[in-house]
């Protein structure tokens, strides 16, 4: 983080599938920094990797679905909800890292895609509600495709195939998110000047 300009970096280890870890994350930021200017929410659970039958198809496994919803949807909303009062004080920014799987439905992603579609709907609606209330918190929803984190290889190993989709290096994805955030802030300032 220091190579990105941070004077100090604080890490909070946690499982975003556990509400108490989400709460501890925001509480730590409040205690250490006194508030928040930015919150980037970017995590995911791919519980399909834990499926017993190893099939990539929807099979009604509600335990897997519950795990996906808890980590990939509920925790995003919990983190954002806990952070909003802090971001409101600083006219801060909330960045939600979504997925192309939440924009274009495809086979073998029913569990994951459902949560990502839900995130887009929730945060698009929340953005409008904040504007209606006069709350100056920016919300950017980033849509990224396949990222080369090692997971594509695991899927290929587990399911025996992988659609021919090129994976981007993580550093490229982060740089695009930073540029989009800056662009959104400039557009918001222009709207405020009218």
Q: Are 140 and 181 in contact (CB under 8 A)?
A: yes
Q: For 36-193, CATH number?
A: 3.40.50.720
> C-alpha angle with apex 144: 48 to 103, nearest 5 degrees?
75
Strand pairing report for 138-142 and 93-97: parallel
Q: Are 180 and 140 in contact (CB under 8 A)?
A: yes
pLDDT per residue over 119-161, tens digit each? 999 999 999 999 999 999 999 998 877 666 666 666 666 656 5
pLDDT of residue 130: 97
In this model, does residue 194 exceed pLDDT 50? no
pTM of this structure:
0.80
CA distances from 189 to 39, 95, 125, 163, 184 (A): 19, 17, 21, 41, 9
Assign residue 60 a region: left if phi > 0, alpha if psi is -120 to 50, beta otherwise?
A: left
CB-CB neighbours of 189 under 10 Å: 9
Supply the residues annotated as catalytic: 112
Mean model confidence pLDDT for the chain:
82
Q: How many Å separate Cα 138 from the centre of its chain?
A: 15
Which sequence spans correspond to the domains of the chain? 36-193
pLDDT of residue 148: 67
CA distance 64 to 123: 24
- State both tokens at 121: 């709907």
pLDDT per residue over 47-79, tens digit each? 766 666 667 778 888 988 899 999 999 999 999
pLDDT of residue 151: 64
């Amino acid at each position: 983080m220091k190579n990105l300009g941070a004077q100090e970096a604080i890490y909070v280890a946690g499982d975003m599938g556990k509400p108490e870890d989400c709460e501890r994350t925001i509480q730590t930021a409040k205690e250490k920094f006194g508030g928040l200017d930015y919150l980037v929410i970017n995590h995911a659970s791919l519980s399909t990797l834990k499926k017993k039958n190893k099939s990539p198809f929807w099979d009604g496994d509600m335990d897997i679905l519950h795990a996906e919803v808890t980590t990939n949807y509920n925790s995003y909303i919990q983190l954002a909800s806990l952070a909003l009062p802090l971001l409101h004080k600083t006219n801060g920014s909330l960045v939600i890292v979504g997925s192309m799987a939440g924009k274009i439905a495809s086979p073998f992603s029913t569990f994951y895609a459902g949560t990502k579609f839900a995130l887009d709907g929730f945060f698009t609606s929340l953005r409008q509600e904040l504007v209606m209330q006069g709350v100056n918190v920016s919300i950017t929803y980033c849509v990224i495709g396949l990222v080369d984190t090692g997971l594509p290889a695991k899927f290929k190993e587990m399911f025996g195939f992988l659609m021919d989709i090129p994976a981007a290096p993580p550093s490229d994805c982060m740089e695009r998110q930073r540029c989009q955030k800056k662009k959104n802030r400039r557009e918001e300032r222009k709207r405020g000047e009218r």
